[in-house]
Amino acid sequence: MSQICDLVDLGRYPMDRPGSPAYQRMIADVRRDLEEDGCAVLPGFVHDQGTTHLVAEADQVAPMGHRSFTRTNAYFGTEDPNLPLDHPARQFYDRSNAFIPADNFGADSPLRRIYEFPHFMAFIRDALDEPQDRFFRYDDPLADVIINMVETGDGFPWHFDTNNFTVTLAIQNAEEGGQFEYAPMVRSPTNENYDAVARVLAGNNAQVRQLELQPGDLQIFRGRYSLHRVTPVRGARKRYVGIFSFAETANMCGSVERTRQLYGRVLPHHLERAGLRVDTLRD
Ligand SMILES: O=C(O)CCC(=O)C(=O)O
Ligand SMILES: [Fe+2]
């Protein structure tokens, strides 16, 4: 079974030593990057040897990925015929990928080892400057820690996330494509900024940054405000990205409908949380 130091470069990222000067410097760096453009990258967070474990695990569970195709706009909304045809909310794109659900990452999973390392959650919370009583691991056995698997022909078109922030770990790059592109903080809680969104959707990349993330890089991203996409992938090698989820309230879990769409199934846990009975017996 791997230890955290077999995966994470704790020398470079001393998340296990809160309060030390090195830890304080690390937090200051991440906060500055998040402040500047809503995105912080920690290169080599998982060292090369650790990445080997994560790739081996991903290859092993890849057949369990649930593939989904949708036609979506940047807001995951439906068609609104009352808006002008060129409105950003009326631009629809194909999206396809496969998520490998969280219950494939069991107690001895290296990816889960990182997610459940107690100092990891504290470090992410600290980096995002979130209060302790508003930061929890996601209580969803299919979605707390997953892999986004993107294969040749797949892509993740322009969108805003529904979560306030996303924590991802690059595990394996595709042979071609699969770059992460984003328009930093293009909208705010009080301003949709549709004109700027429309410019990005139309292919104007003056405001767009492209990241060449390498396996092992950790990314902390405020995806609710920054329009972003993953460029289409080509070649035989799959693109693997680990996604670690956190929530503002305890016991948060995905809805039955959305879970079924993304992971192809639900567990009794989802039905219970939705107030539904697990059995079909007459009361
Ligand atoms: O795979 C990635 O790098 C991020 C995908 C993404 O934007 C998302 O899951 O919302
Ligand atoms: Fe996203």
| Domain spans in the chain, listed from the N-terminal domain onward | 4-65+98-271
Q: How far is the CA of 39 from the centre of ligand 1 (A)?
A: 13
Which is the closest atom of ligand 1 to the Cα of 229? 7
Which is the closest atom of ligand 1 to the Cα of 180? 3
**Quick one: pLDDT at residue 10?**
98
State the complex-level ipTM: 0.97
Give the other-Cβ count within 10 Å of 221's Cβ.
Answer: 24
**Quick one: pLDDT at residue 155?**
86
**Quick one: pLDDT at residue 275?**
79
Are 169 and 47 spatial neighbours (Cβ–Cβ below 8 Å)? Answer: no
Residue of 27, 32, 74 lying closest to 198 (CA atoms): 74
**Quick one: pLDDT at residue 78?**
87
Give the other-Cβ count within 10 Å of 262's Cβ.
Answer: 18
Which is the closest atom of ligand 1 to the Cα of 170? 3
Which ligand has the nearest atom to the CA of 225? 2
Residue of 173, 109, 98 lying closest to 145 (CA atoms): 109
Q: Coil, strand, or helix at residue 273?
A: helix
Choose the residue to mutate in 151, 228, 240 for probing ligand 1, maximizing ligand atoms within 8 Å of C-beta. 228
Give the other-Cβ count within 10 Å of 163's Cβ.
Answer: 17
Which is the closest atom of ligand 1 to the Cα of 161? 10
Q: How far is the CA of 178 from the centre of ligand 2 (A)?
A: 13
**Quick one: pLDDT at residue 258?**
87
Which is the closest atom of ligand 1 to the Cα of 213? 3
Q: How far is the CA of 171 from the centre of ligand 2 (A)?
A: 17
Residue of 205, 247, 259 lying closest to 227 (CA atoms): 205
Joined tokens for residue 2: 């791997």
Report strand pairing: 93-100 vs 180-183. unpaired
The residue contributing the CA closest to ligand 1 atom 9 is: 148
Q: How far is the CA of 224 from the centre of ligand 2 (A)?
A: 8
**Quick one: pLDDT at residue 280?**
63
**Quick one: pLDDT at residue 86?**
94
Residue of 283, 247, 253 lying closest to 266 (CA atoms): 253
Q: CA 88, CA 26: separation in Å to the nearest integer?
A: 37
Contacts of 26 (CB under 8 A, 6+ apart): 13, 14, 15
Q: CA 135, CA 139: separation in Å to the nearest integer?
A: 12
The residue contributing the CA closest to ligand 1 atom 4 is: 230
Q: Which of the residues in the chain have pLDDT under 70? A: 1, 276-283
Q: How far is the CA of 242 from the centre of ligand 1 (A)?
A: 9
**Quick one: pLDDT at residue 76?**
85
| Chain segment 151-165, per-residue pLDDT in tens | 998 889 999 998 889
Homologous superfamily (CATH) of 4-65+98-271 is q2cbj1_9rhob like domain (2.60.120.620)
Work out the angle between the directed axes of helices 118-128 and 21-37 (0-180°, nearest 10). 50
Query: Which residue reads 């194909």 in tokens?
Result: 94
User: Any residues with Cβ below 6 Å from ligand 1, and which?
Assistant: 148, 156, 161, 168, 180, 228, 230, 241
